[in-house]
Amino acid sequence: MQEGISVEDVNWEDSELNRVVIRNTAISPLGGLRIAGILEAASGMAEASRVFQRYSIAYVVSGKGYYYGKTTGRFAVNPGDAILVRPNEEHHYRPDWGTVWSEIFFEFEGPVFDLWFDETKMDWSEAVFRLEPISYWKSRFLETIGESNNGNPAKMLSECLRIQALLNDIQALLNDIQATSQAYAVDELAWLDDAKKALVDQPDGKAAAQVLGVNYEVFRKRFKKMVGMSPGKFRNSLIMDKACHMLEGSDVTVKSVAEELGFCDEYHFSKQFKRTIGWTPRDYRKRFYNF
């Protein structure tokens, strides 16, 4: 692996780089990332089980399968699921037999992470948890991986902070989900399902609120409290998820994607896509054409 390579520099047609993006020989005294990569159309590990000496996390982008941990048991794994494995846990995970999946993964270690997991009282029996929208969390994982630190102290510290930020955001989301499940009755959750459906079917949040028969500001506050993001941001994430799927593994034109998703023209779609995903639609297709 050459020094200084970043996720954006990866040649996705290269079989080696397509698997291992970063392998750091040094990390900060607080901790950091040791190895990271992207598996495209992976069929899983040959051995029945394995044990890592570090923390590891994998985010499944497409495909489905299962995870099994010796102390946690078996979990189904679907697109949008993250698998978190603590050090020395005997485990294995893979897509369903005869199928493949795509994942982003990295392994990390260090005293700051030992302390973080202790302080947050991480429930290690829940090894698989959901992170949606996929387009947002895929970008977060790629941003966290970043580039090889090359032993540079500033880069090593930045890398450590990026991992902590990702873990904090994941923990905040899990806390919100738990609080939501405890605080709202069945009818509240049914309302949320209706709200999400309205956001998919209607052209904007105001129209969705009208369908539900409530003032938009009331709708916005209630939705954000339950989901953790505004209706507009949630709807945009769904649209960008669909855009990513249309651009991945397809030769459909960017103009056609824009029209299909209801944008007035290709320019406004490309501008919104770059603001959300971080790349233009054409750059995204180059980097993730088969991902």
Other Cβ atoms within 10 Å of 228 Cβ, number: 15
* pLDDT at residue 45, as a whole number: 59
Other Cβ atoms within 10 Å of 233 Cβ, number: 16
* pLDDT at residue 264, as a whole number: 85
* pLDDT at residue 249, as a whole number: 63
Under 8 Å CB-to-CB from 2, ≥6 apart: which residues? Answer: none
Closest by CA to 169, choosing from 73, 8, 77, 59, is 59
Report the C-alpha gap between 144 and 210 in whole angstroms.
39
Q: What's at 212, amino acid-wise?
A: L
Report the C-alpha gap between 245 and 257 in whole angstroms.
10
Domains, the chain, with CATH or none: 7-180 (2.60.120.280), 186-288 (1.10.10.60)
Q: Which single residue is written with the structure tokens 């309205």?
A: 198
Could you report the average pLDDT of every consecutive run of 10 residues in the chain (291 residues)? Answer: 38 47 89 90 68 94 92 93 94 89 93 92 87 88 88 90 90 71 62 87 89 91 85 86 79 86 86 84 73 44
The C-alpha angle 185, 232, 80, rounded to 5 degrees, equals 70
DSSP 56-109: EEEEEEE--EEEEETTTEEEEE-TTEEEEE-TT--EEEEEPTT--EEEEEEEEE
pTM above 0.75, yes or no: no
* pLDDT at residue 74, as a whole number: 92
DSSP 264-287: SSHHHHHHHHHHHHSS-HHHHHHH
* pLDDT at residue 19, as a whole number: 65
* Phi/psi of residue 63, nearest 5 degrees: 85, 170
